[in-house]
Amino acid sequence: MEIIHLLLDGFGVALQPLNLLMIVLGVTVGLFIGAMPGLGSVNGVAILLPMTFLVPPTSAIIFLGAIYYGAMYGGAISSIMLGIPGASTAVATTFDGRPLALKGEADKALIAAATASFVGGTISVVLFTMFAPPLADFALGFGAPEEFALMMLAFATFVGLGGDDIPKTIFSICIGLVFGAVGLDIISGQPRLIFMDITGFMHGINFLVLAIGIYGIGEMLWVIEVNKGNVVVSQANISMKRTIQCFKELGRTTKTMVMGSVLGYFVGILPAAGATPGSLMAYGVAKTTADDPESFGKGNLNGVVAPEAANNAASTGSMLPMLTLGIPGSPTTAILLGGMVIWGLEPGPMLFVNEKEFVWGLIASLYAANLFALIINIGFIPFFIWILKLPFTIIAPIIFVLCIVGGFAPTKDMHDVWLMLIFGVVGYSMRKLDYPMAPAVLAIVLGPLAEPSLRQSLLISDGSFAIFFNRPIAGPITVVALILILLPLVKFFRRTTPSQEPL
Amino acid sequence: MRKAELVMAAVMAVFSLYLMYKSTELPIGWMKGKGPGGGAYPFWLSAAMLVSCIVIFVRGYLRKSPPSQSDETYMDRHTIKLFLLVAGSLTITIGLVHIIGMYFAVAIFLLYYLRYLGGHSWKLVGSFSVGFPTALFFFFEGALKITLPKGYAEPLFIPLYSIIY
């Protein structure tokens, strides 16, 4: 009952005029960013975070949370209308969404995607409301060893479940952690890793510099390279009669929607998994459990509904560890977590004790953001289709400019803008060689939190790593983390060693 | 692709070595009563980076990783041209910020990008190049109270300050 009370208080915060405005604005911006081919929630949140210094932290996170949701809805629009995923999270939506559009049923696919997103978002927020407070309560008892073990687990999921090249994933994690260590050593206060003795490194490398570099500049360079050819925008006929007809057909996909939502939510909680694999898995499950699997890929409505419900549910899922444990469940939530540090909040379970207004305002805003995203999405379908026809040569320079001013704003130092450009260019060249970028962004956010907990733990144990194994909660977490790291490593070397012998 | 893979791994290995060397400026061993020295954490992480780079290089050399098996060129002529035009103009823009300030540098960048790379009409180019920096000015200086660099163009902004302050 206490939860309902807190949630109602949260609605009191979320429905204040400023916050309501933030929700509507955030959802609209998110839909716009999601609909742009190549740009997703992480790009929008990274580039626009510096702009939120204008409003108080609660309004800022509500705005960014609404962008996150909006982008999940928006991704479907270009998947269906262009056949190009609007964001990686909407890849699975192209499988059946595009065939529907080619059959002249684009409106049906768009409405199905929006409705499924709404169902996925709502079911997952309800699950979130139920799980978050007990989990935060439980996490209140965590000490430094438990915190460090959890962070190890977060990184281990990238190695074990990420699916990218393993040495490149490990490299990406480590370089992010090292960049997070630049600046003053937190314990002795001595300057550390001041490259070429440039004083700009004294204040450390702000995570936003890396995030905007990679997800702003690097991503745009990537999109400019990939989007060389011309694309064809499908036509959508929208009328009241067809919409009502469409909702009737959607009734038959309820089971798929619920399945996608629950699956997406739980996959989203894992740091390395998130919305993209969640939606692909939901598509897979929908196809294998269907009575007519052969109709998938040819325009089956269930094939649109499953991934769209899952990617929205996953975005809520990824907020669960971020808010309760201080461990982000996705690159987007990593940036939100970094934002919380900038706003002067201490991420972790104490938020539920000290910052009730912030936490419950955010949770309540997610309910509202879902509703607004549905209304704005369906109400303005023609507008979002028009956006798809906007030439990229107008969007790109504007995003570049936002990156430059956004890189400057947090520290007011041109040094950071140069660094951001370097990260963008190097990140782009590394991404072309399959180096995953998300682990580095997660690492630079978590690094400054992980190092003190590691050093404190070792101080408690007088230098023995046994402390991570012999405590009742830290122990099992460390073991799972080690298994996740070692299993693929063993497989990796088994696979490579025999073929090396003949040489 | 294979060449790029090997070069990248080698460059990053050298960078890891530099990071390891840089970490040793602070003690990397155990300090009695204080725990690990300030350099230990980045030192061992950089060491892990170095090991990863060596594995990536060896796998690339043996053609075990996807990029080293690919016959595609890392960047074809067209991509290089586009990359240089975009990244180059960004570099020049950020350099210009130091001289003529953020707003004029942004205006010139928009003018160049929209007209030269985008081929848009002068009407659109003009309104964006003037309108967008103006909007940025009122948002940053007026609403956020963050002053962006103005370089030698500072005196031109004095009349505008009277509007926002």
Question: Domains in chain B: how many in total?
Answer: 2
pLDDT digits (tens, 9 = 90+) for A201-245: 888 898 999 999 999 999 889 888 876 655 667 777 777 788 888
Q: What is the dihedral of CA B50, B53, B54, B57, to 10 degrees?
A: -160
Helix axes A57-81, A331-342, angle to 10 degrees: 160
Q: Are residues B95 and B153 in the same domain?
A: yes
Contact call for residues A420 and A213 (beta carbons, < 8 A): yes
Beta-carbon separation of A225 and B79 below 8 A: yes
Cβ neighbours, 10 Å, residue A140: 12
Residues of B within 8 A of A467 (CB-CB) are none
**A226 close to B (CB below 8 A):** no
Q: Are residues B130 and B60 in the same domain?
A: no
**DSSP-assigned beta bridge partners for residue A184:** A191
A194: closest chain B residue by CA: B22
B50: closest chain A residue by CA: A171
Residues of A within 8 A of B144 (CB-CB) are 51, 53-54, 409
Q: Are residues B158 and B132 in the same domain?
A: yes
Q: Are residues B84 and B60 in the same domain?
A: no
Beta-carbon separation of A414 and B59 below 8 A: no
Beta-carbon separation of B4 and A225 below 8 A: no
* Domain boundaries along the sequence of chain A: 2-492
Residues 6+ apart with CB under 8 A from B144: A51, A53, A54, A409
Contact call for residues A446 and B130 (beta carbons, < 8 A): no
Residues of B within 8 A of A54 (CB-CB) are 139, 143-144
Q: Are residues B126 and B62 in the same domain?
A: no
Residue spans of chain A under pLDDT 50: 498-503
Distance from CA of B151 to the nearest CA of A (A): 12
Q: Are residues B81 and B155 in the same domain?
A: yes
**DSSP-assigned beta bridge partners for residue A324:** none
Residues of A within 8 A of B93 (CB-CB) are 404
Distance from CA of B78 to the nearest CA of A (A): 9
> Which of B48, B69, B90 corresponds to the end of one domain?
B69
What pLDDT is attached to residue A228? 62
Residues of B within 8 A of A170 (CB-CB) are 48, 52
Residue whose C-alpha is closest to residue A109's, from A278, A235, A263: A235
Q: Are residues B28 and B81 in the same domain?
A: no
What pLDDT is attached to residue A499? 45
What pLDDT is attached to residue A214? 92
Question: B30: helix, coil or strand?
Answer: strand
pLDDT digits (tens, 9 = 90+) for A14-45: 999 999 999 999 999 999 888 887 788 888 99
Beta-carbon separation of B136 and A405 below 8 A: yes
Residues of A within 8 A of B143 (CB-CB) are 54
Look up the ipTM and state it: 0.94
Q: Are residues B159 and B98 in the same domain?
A: yes
Contact call for residues B59 and A167 (beta carbons, < 8 A): yes
Q: Are residues B95 and B154 in the same domain?
A: yes
Q: Are residues B81 and B148 in the same domain?
A: yes
Structure token digits, residue A129: 């409301």
Contact call for residues B66 and A434 (beta carbons, < 8 A): yes
Which run of H or of E encompasses A183? strand A183-184
Residue spans of chain B under pLDDT 50: none
DSSP state of A105: -
Q: Are residues B60 and B94 in the same domain?
A: no
> Which of B50, B69, B88 corresponds to the end of one domain?
B69
pLDDT digits (tens, 9 = 90+) for B23-64: 988 888 887 777 788 888 999 999 999 999 999 999 999 988
Distance from CA of A395 to the nearest CA of B (A): 10
A222: closest chain B residue by CA: B83
pTM of the model: 0.87
> What DSSP letter does each residue of B91-151 carry, written as one string?
HHHHHHHHHHHHHHHHHHHHHIIIIIIT---HHHHHHHHHHHHHHHHIIIIIII--PPP-G
3-state secondary structure A195-264: HHHCHHHHHCCCHHHHHHHHHHHHHHHHHHHHCCCCCCCCCCCCCHHHHHHHHHHHHHHHHHHHHHHHHH
User: Residue B140 is nearest to which of A405, A432, A500, comparing CB atoms?
Assistant: A405
DSSP state of A463: S
Cβ-Cβ contacts under 8 Å between A and B: the total is 169
> Best residue in A168, A413, A430 to probe B by mutation, most B CBs within 10 Å?
A168
What pLDDT is attached to residue A292? 87
Residue with tokens 């809520």: A316
Residues of A within 8 A of B124 (CB-CB) are 394
Q: Which domain holds residue B81?
A: 77-164
> Which of B46, B69, B92 corresponds to the end of one domain?
B69
**A102 close to B (CB below 8 A):** no
Q: Are residues B83 and B65 in the same domain?
A: no
